[in-house]
Amino acid sequence: MLNLSLPPMATLNDAAAELVAAAGEDRATANAVNKAIFYLGEGVVVRPTTGGFLIPSGTRAGTIHRISTAYGCGCEAGCKGKPCWHAALIAIVEQAQTRALPMSDRIAAARRVARERAEREMAELFS
């Protein structure tokens, strides 16, 4: 299985800063983004899978969390509807991927990401 190809760390840091700024007073979301960028810097492995991604727990060896494009993250926080760093990590990567492209390609990339997300959600819902 292939790991998710990540943009350069500087681009990921910029994307994380944008997401923290967008969170405003929502400290839980800002903390999730900060934790996610920390783990990205530590080299966390993200594996794409059908309908989502697999990310190891940051605190429990051997525990893998599934971030579903249709249902969110399966971690304890995610199951309670709270922000989690696993989902924030995917948001950072998606934000960074659009920043890494020239402006003319950003529109096409945004459409492609939206289409791919919709296709994954459909696959998840009907599998």
- Domain segments of the chain: what residues? 9-126
Alpha helices in 1-127 (DSSP H): 9-23, 27-41, 76-79, 85-99, 103-126
Is-contact 34 20, C-beta < 8 A? yes
The candidate with the shortest Cα–Cα distance to 3, out of 48, 39, 41, 40, is 48
The pLDDT profile of the chain, 127 residues, written as one tens digit per residue, is 466 678 889 999 999 999 999 999 999 999 999 999 999 999 999 999 988 999 998 888 889 999 998 889 999 999 999 999 999 999 999 888 876 656 555 566 667 777 877 777 777 777 6
The per-residue pLDDT for 102 is 60
